[in-house]
Amino acid sequence: MKKILIGTTALVAAGLIAGGASAAEKMKVGVSGYQHLFLIYGSQSDNAGEPANNLRNHGIRKEGEVHFKAKTTMDNGIKIGWEGEFEAEATNTDENFVWLEGGFGRVTIGGYWGPSLLMSHNAPGGAPGWGDFANNAPATAPANSAVGGPNSYAAFTFKSDKIAYYTPVMGPIRIGVAYTLDLGVGPNGNGNFTTDASAATARDLGATYEIAVELKQKFGGGNVAAYGTYLKAKEETTVAGFGDRTAYAVGVTVTTGAFSVGAGYKNDDEGETGDNDEKHFGIGGAYSTGPWKVALNYTAGADANGGGAGAEDDMTFLQLSGAYSWGPGVTLGAGIQNTKWTDGGSVAADENNATIAFFGTALSF
């Protein structure tokens, strides 16, 4: 896959030169972004030794980004651009990559999500940023739980530097492949040669390959979108109990009229030997009418690692949320969720039952 991606990039570069690289006009620059801000109030397991002990039962949850984009069209019709995204709550770069697009498909190079997420389809959400694989997850996950929060997406390459190629749409099908050089190098990295192994006492996952296949098809008054993805990260330092990390996921969303339903499943072995893969299944539905939208989501996760004696840690997530489009770029959102972690060894410090209500706004520009 690495040779295919690098070869594709070389062919695109050759096409740019052969077709005349001078652009008809300078790059057009744009700025966009968003800011989510929610008030949260909830009840969690807060007795002595439990995860939420000595924590307040209310807070302010916010998350925002500023996006800078530049693009142009070359004389030969190939489009080229750059995107940089920056976190509003921090000084770090969130995404930083260059893209090329034409009849050959699309190529991205740099710190950006891969096809495992960009081509995914899953249960629809209601309030912006809340749900399965959401930006907002205020419930306190037990430190020793082997199961994280709700997430039925196998996107463990995150935004590490990668080369990705997406084919043109072929009927209802599109394919994406990516090669991530090193999982430890994200969009803030400056390039150079990365290490091929870490200290023998540490665990090191390096080169990662991923592929995703996406299907989109209209039927009657609706449409269906589905995907499947597979990822494999190579272990670069041998550590007892660990090996290469592999994950796969499938998902589907069906929309007809005002209704949409979807489901997704992920299996991630987390690079650990033995039968202790982390599994997540999510399902949900949404209804939209005028400026209103309401959604119900459920996700369940399990991982035998950490439970002891073959027992498994479990997580369940149930959320009802809604949104109201107040005006251009302004959406109000509210909802209530329950996230429950159960420890395979029945250790109170490794369990939490969190019920959280939220209300706020999502601004986009």
Give 186's pLDDT tier (boundaries 50, 70, 90). low
Q: Residue 242's pLDDT is what?
A: 83
Nearest to 122 by CA among 237, 249, 258: 249
Give 291's pLDDT tier (boundaries 50, 70, 90). very high
pLDDT, mean of residues 245-274: 94
Indicate if the pLDDT at residue 315 is higher than 90.
yes
- Amino acid identity at 172: P
Indicate if the pLDDT at residue 157 is higher than 70.
yes
- Report the C-alpha gap between 199 and 306 in whole angstroms: 25
Q: Residue 228's pLDDT is what?
A: 98
- Domains recognised in the chain with CATH numbers: 2-364 (2.40.160.10)
Q: Residue 12's pLDDT is what?
A: 54
Q: Residue 137's pLDDT is what?
A: 81
Indicate if the pLDDT at residue 3 is higher than 80.
no
Indicate if the pLDDT at residue 68 is higher than 90.
yes
- Report the C-alpha gap between 303 and 96 in whole angstroms: 34
Indicate if the pLDDT at residue 135 is higher than 70.
no
**188-198 per-position pLDDT tens digit:** 666 666 666 65
Q: Residue 119's pLDDT is what?
A: 98
pLDDT, mean of residues 277-297: 96
Nearest to 109 by CA among 179, 156, 190: 179
| Average pLDDT value over all residues in the chain | 88
**6-47 per-position pLDDT tens digit:** 555 555 555 555 554 455 678 999 999 999 999 999 999 999
Indicate if the pLDDT at residue 300 is higher than 90.
yes
- If one compares 364 and 26, the residue with the highest pLDDT of the two is 364
pLDDT, mean of residues 273-292: 93
pLDDT, mean of residues 121-141: 87
Q: Residue 146's pLDDT is what?
A: 87
**75-126 per-position pLDDT tens digit:** 889 999 999 999 888 777 789 999 999 999 999 999 999 999 999 999 999 9
- Report the C-alpha gap between 317 and 118 in whole angstroms: 23
Give 275's pLDDT tier (boundaries 50, 70, 90). confident
pLDDT, mean of residues 317-331: 97
- Report the C-alpha gap between 100 and 177 in whole angstroms: 15
Spell out the residues 6+ positions from residue 18 whose beta carbon is closer than 8 angstroms to its own. 76
Q: Residue 40's pLDDT is what?
A: 97
**190-240 per-position pLDDT tens digit:** 666 666 665 555 567 788 999 999 999 999 889 999 999 999 999 887 777
Q: Residue 54 CB: number of other CB atoms within 10 A? A: 7
Indicate if the pLDDT at residue 272 is higher than 90.
no
Q: Residue 272 CB: number of other CB atoms within 10 A? A: 19
- If one compares 252 and 25, the residue with the highest pLDDT of the two is 252
Q: Residue 205's pLDDT is what?
A: 78
Structure tokens at 128: 């912006």
pLDDT, mean of residues 259-277: 91
Q: Residue 351's pLDDT is what?
A: 95
Q: Residue 4's pLDDT is what?
A: 55
Long-range contacts of 49-52 (CB under 8 A, 24+ apart): 49/348, 49/349, 50/348, 50/349, 50/351, 50/352, 51/140, 51/141, 51/142, 51/143, 51/349, 51/351, 51/352, 52/140, 52/352, 52/354
The 3-class secondary structure across the chain, one letter per residue, is CHHHHHHHHHHHHHHHHHCCCCECCCCEEEEEEEEEEEEEEEECCCCCCCCCCCCCCEEEEEEEEEEEEEEEEECCCCEEEEEEEEECCCCCEEEEEEEEEECCEEEEEEECCCHHHHCCCCCCCCCCCCCCCCCCCCCCCCCCCCCCCCCCCCCCCCCCEEEEEECCCECCEEEEEEEECCCCCCCCCCCCCCCCCCCCCCCCEEEEEEEEEEEEEEECCEEEEEEEEEEEEEECCCCCCECCEEEEEEEEEEEECCEEEEEEEEEECCCECCCCCEEEEEEEEEEEECCEEEEEEEEEEEECCCCCCCCCEEEEEEEEEEEEEEECCEEEEEEEEEEEEECCCCCHHHCEEEEEEEEEEEEEC
State the pairing for strand pair 292-303/28-43: unpaired
pLDDT, mean of residues 339-346: 92
Q: Cα–chain-centroid distance for residue 220?
A: 31
Query: Residue 136 in contact with residue 127, Cβ under 8 Å?
Result: no
Give 182's pLDDT tier (boundaries 50, 70, 90). confident
